[in-house]
Amino acid sequence: MTATAEEIAYVGDELELFAAATNWKTYWASKVRPYLGARILDVGAGIGATVQLLNVDPSQQWVALEPDPRLVGRMREQALPSNCEVRTGTLTSLAENETFDTVLYIDVLEHIEDDRAEMARAAAHVRPGGCIVVLAPAHQLLFTPFDHAIGHFRRYDGRSMRAVTPPGMQVERVLQLDSVGISASLANKLILKSVSPQPSQIAFWDRVMVPLSKLVDPLIGYSLGKTIIGIWRKA
């Protein structure tokens, strides 16, 4: 899921690894859903998991944009809601005058080498009053061989997330989620030295740690977590 080619093969298996993390998906979705407008672009839509999770209003119009033809094929095999159009390509595939109320990058921007240029391109397709919403892994300290293996160029913090603010848009909110999960990520990197999280670890994290993070995160003002969400609005 990079931004410079029209057809790109997906790197890694994170889509499958985290598919069953239902508590986590419900948690972050609750923070993103208030920013969804009438017409939504899901950039790097993968296998359609974000559309299936967030698309609960049949009056909305969704475009699932994915550069990897194999993943596009998998999306088209699924029973995605009828208000979702699946396309192969990147932002450069869109018509110059095509606009959206919300542009989503859910676990995507970290895969794009020139993230600032990508955000500037995205802003050109946002309607006045509309939003860009980015969800990405947080804290470069947590960068592991797993990040590299699945095609991540970086992890973000508050400063680097704000640094990608595109012209004509303003930061509305930056928040971090999963404060409790940071301990598991650090243990995985520094103690276990695991190349990638195991399914059993992900299941425990989702069942035990995510519910705890939902309690702790608001108490610390969403200031620490292993995932970061950035929201920008166009005037």
| pLDDT for res 8 | 44
Q: What is the CA radius of gyration of the chain?
A: 17
Render pLDDT for 128-138 as a digit per residue (tens, 0 to 9).
Answer: 999 999 999 99
Domain assignment of residue 121, yes or no: yes
Q: For a pLDDT cut of 70, what percent of the chain falls above it?
A: 89
Domain assignment of residue 5, yes or no: no
| pLDDT for res 4 | 39
CA 118-90-112 angle, to 5 degrees, is 40
Render pLDDT for 165-202 as a digit per residue (tens, 0 to 9).
Answer: 999 999 999 999 999 999 888 877 766 566 567 788 88
Please indicate, yes or no, whether the overall pTM of this predicted structure exceeds 0.75. Answer: yes
Domain assignment of residue 156, yes or no: yes
7, pLDDT greater than 60: no
Tell me the average pLDDT across 64-74. 96
When divided into structural domains, the chain yields a total of 1
Which contiguous run of DSSP H or E holds residue 193?
A: none
| pLDDT for res 90 | 96
Cα–Cα distances (Å) from 202 to 101, 105, 231, in that order, read 33, 22, 27
CA 195-109-20 angle, to 5 degrees, is 55
The interaxial angle of helices 22-32 and 210-219, nearest 10 deg, is 30
Cα–Cα distances (Å) from 44 to 61, 178, 184, 197, 224, in that order, read 17, 23, 27, 22, 26
Render pLDDT for 50-60 as a digit per residue (tens, 0 to 9).
Answer: 999 999 999 99
Q: 3-state SS string over 63-107?
A: EEEECCHHHHHHHHHCCCCCCEEEEECCHHHCCCCCCEEEEEEEC
Domain assignment of residue 3, yes or no: no
Which of the pair, 187 or 13, is modelled with greater confidence? 187
CATH code for the domain in which residue 63 is found: 3.40.50.150
Tell me the average pLDDT across 15-23. 78
Structure-token pair, residue 98: 């095509």
Question: Of 14-23, 157-166, 192-201, which gets the smallest average pLDDT?
Answer: 192-201
Domain assignment of residue 7, yes or no: no
Domain assignment of residue 218, yes or no: yes
9, pLDDT greater than 80: no
How does DSSP classify residue 165?
P
| pLDDT for res 194 | 61
| pLDDT for res 205 | 92
Domain assignment of residue 8, yes or no: no
Q: Which domain holds residue 192?
A: 14-234
Domain assignment of residue 4, yes or no: no
Cβ distance 127 to 234 under 8 Å? yes
How does DSSP classify residue 3?
S
**Can you tell me the distance from the alpha carbon of 156 to that of 174, in angstroms, rounded to the nearest whole number?**
11
Structure-token pair, residue 224: 């620490």
5, pLDDT greater than 60: no
Cα–Cα distances (Å) from 155 to 15, 44, 233, in that order, read 17, 17, 22
